[in-house]
Structure formats: C-alpha cells, structure tokens
Structure 1
C-alpha cells in the first residue's frame, strides 16, 4: 500500500470521526462540536501540508 493511500485512509477516518462528533453534539458549543472543529482544522492542515509537499516534489 502506498503512503498516499495510507494518508487518504487516515483522512477518511478523521472525516468520519468529525461527522460523528458533530452529529453527537446537541449544542453548537458543546464538547462534541468543539472536538469536531478541532478535528476539521487538523484535517485541513494535514491536507494543506500534503499538497505543499506534493508541489515541491513535482518541481
């Protein structure tokens, strides 16, 4: 399994966790919502770093 496939699987798992945490949160500022927001930021940061690495490697 390639590294990019492994990263994709990890990102998909994180996205599922974010969705589940957001769905479990009853209030917009509940613990689940805050945790989901943190997971989303982490997922976005990881994707951004990976895209930058890809751009550097293709130059």
Structure 2
C-alpha cells in the first residue's frame, strides 16, 4: 500500500508542476494606459427617480 500512495503523490506533484508551468506570466502593456475619457458624441440618458412603479401588475 505504501508504494501506491507514493506513486499518487508523485503523480500529483508532477501534475501541479505542469499546471504552474502552463500558467501565463505577468502581462505588460505597451506604453502608458490612456486616461478614461467620455465620448464627446455620447447622448445623455435620464434615469428613473425610483426603481419601482406605482402600478403593479399582479
């Protein structure tokens, strides 16, 4: 029985090493990120004052 557990542990260790090796490294962007800006052609959308309506359909 002891040999079987050693084989399973070895297999699990090899599988874990392969999984870590397959993970991507840290990604680097080219240059500085652009600041967030609004689209000058975007249209304004008005939201509702409340999230429920007074007329309920049951």
TM-score (norm 2): 0.42
Q: For the pair shown, which has the larger CA radius of gyration, 1 or 2?
A: 2
**Higher-RCO chain (CA-CA 8 Å, sequence separation at least 6):** 1
Higher helix proportion (structure 1 or 2): 1
TM-score (norm 1): 0.41
